[in-house]
Amino acid sequence: MSETTTQFDAVVIGSGPGGEGAAMQLTKNGLNVAMIEKHKSLGGGCTHWGTIPSKALRHSVSRLIEFNGNPLFSGEHIQNGLTFSHILRHAQGVIQQQVQMRSSFYQRNDVTVLHGTATFEDANTIKITQADGTIEHVSAKHIVIATGSRPYHPPDVDFDHERIYDSDTVLSLKHEPRSIIIYGAGVVGSEYASIFRGLGVKVDLINTRDRLLSFLDAEISDALSYHLRNNGVVIRHNEEYDRIEGSDDGVTLYTKSGKRIDADCLLYANGRSGNIEDLNVEAVGLKPNSRGQLDVSSKYQTEVENIYAVGDITGFPSLASAAYDQGRISATAIIHGDSAQRLINDIPTGIYTIPEISSVGKTEEELTDQKVPYEVGRAHFKHLARAQISNMAVGSLKLLFHRETKEVLGVHCFGERAAEIIHIGQAIMEQKNGGNTIEYFVNTTFNYPTMAEAYRVAALNGLNRIRE
């Protein structure tokens, strides 16, 4: 150990949403806080390889599709002038803005930022190895692990091959593929299938399950499948790879069912692993599971009393939005010994396919299994003036509510701006003392024309089903 060890009240490892939430809450309550970030820039995987760049890509491609599909610009297609590399440059600009903003948070709040790889020496001491090999030590009464996750790499897939990518390395794609195999049809795989198809790339989407995004309401999942297929994506359900072979000019995937699929490149998007290896958590008695994740309590405390873990390193729900809240909850527990706040039960999902998907609450399948007497109200976007004006008529809003109490039980949206639209329904679902009923949407006044008006249309549609 070095002769000097810098003392802090709390140390946070990883500057993604979970780490940022913890660090800001701790420092605003008077603790002396250090943030250890492995990479040279703050923001974590969310900012550099995940949420921000992929959504910036998605936005650009969505606007391209909107332009090419708008009758006002008929005959003026710009497909050939916009490449994946060109769009990536725009994403890099967004990333830089995010890094500058997040760096200012730490400066303004007097959080010490240390760059290097963190390794536990004991429950209160961390060794930091900088990029040039310099080593320093810090100690703290409390430590929060927020190191995030990375794409899962099965050992029999050659990710060093120049045509085989994961969801991180695809952001360094240099050539312009004419075709791509996307293995894994979860959120990441479905989003990139939309992005590449929007750029005119031939897409084979390999799904290891029997339908896309099986955690969604089946009607919404079916709508996504239909829309992707209608736009030319080939979806292959219930398939697993037998082997993946890269060549100088492409990739071949052989399925266990005997199929052979050829493409210019392959994106492997099937699962993620926690970033646990460098931490040496075994030195403090922690045992991660096979996916590199740690078990935590409801206040995100690990089995070691003074060590907490938040975000993807703890597994489900693996959402940037939830990770930030987890960080704040863990910090509150550190400060006060406990936290009355808990992660909400109904966390909204935002899936940035084209069009996007968002949902909160129960699905029809869950309500049917639980034998809840429910009814459905729907609003199709093609009937809304705002959707007609903006030429975004694909999609719908679906409300699930209790037939007797009128309580809103679930909200499911498929279409442009779905991740924004969902929050209106979420806000009503969170109301207590009888405030959560579908009748709110009928009795309130919405701006016109707006996409929010879909709530009134869907509510009237649902109530008409139960009126005698």
The two structure tokens encoding residue 293:
């994740």
Q: Is 37 annotated as a binding residue?
A: yes
Residue written as token pair 């140390």: 11
Q: Is 38 annotated as a binding residue?
A: yes
Give the integer Cα–Cα distance in Å for 382 and 385: 8
Contacts of 74 (CB under 8 A, 6+ apart): none
Q: Is 201 annotated as a binding residue?
A: no
Q: Is 55 annotated as a binding residue?
A: yes
The two structure tokens encoding residue 321:
């939005």
Cβ atoms of 328 and 343 within 8 Å: the answer is: no
Give the integer Cα–Cα distance in Å for 58 and 136: 41
Any alpha helices (H) in 306-363, and if so which ranges?
320-336
Q: Is 190 annotated as a binding residue?
A: yes
Give the integer Cα–Cα distance in Å for 344 and 462: 27
Contacts of 128 (CB under 8 A, 6+ apart): 36, 114, 116, 117, 118, 119, 135, 136, 137, 138
Q: Is 184 annotated as a binding residue?
A: yes
- CA dihedral sign, ordered 26, 27, 32, 38: positive
Q: Is 61 annotated as a binding residue?
A: no
Contacts of 81 (CB under 8 A, 6+ apart): none
Count the alpha carbons within 13 Å of 65 in the hemisphere toward its beta carbon: 21
Q: Is 176 annotated as a binding residue?
A: no
Give the integer Cα–Cα distance in Å for 379 and 394: 11
Q: Is 46 annotated as a binding residue?
A: yes
Q: Is 41 annotated as a binding residue?
A: yes
Q: Is 158 annotated as a binding residue?
A: no
Question: Which amino acid would we find at residue 413?
Answer: C
Q: Is 148 annotated as a binding residue?
A: yes
Q: Is 91 annotated as a binding residue?
A: no
How does DSSP classify residue 450? -
Q: Is 377 annotated as a binding residue?
A: no
Give the integer Cα–Cα distance in Å for 185 and 209: 8
Q: Is 134 annotated as a binding residue?
A: no
Q: Is 147 annotated as a binding residue?
A: yes
Q: Is 187 annotated as a binding residue?
A: yes
Q: Is 287 annotated as a binding residue?
A: no
The two structure tokens encoding residue 141:
């009464």
Q: Is 81 annotated as a binding residue?
A: no
Q: Is 75 annotated as a binding residue?
A: no
- CA dihedral sign, ordered 178, 184, 187, 188: negative
Binding-site residue numbers for NAD(+) are 184-191, 271
Binding site, annotated residues for FAD: 37-46, 55, 147-149, 312
Annotated binding site: 37-46, 55, 147-149, 184-191, 271, 312
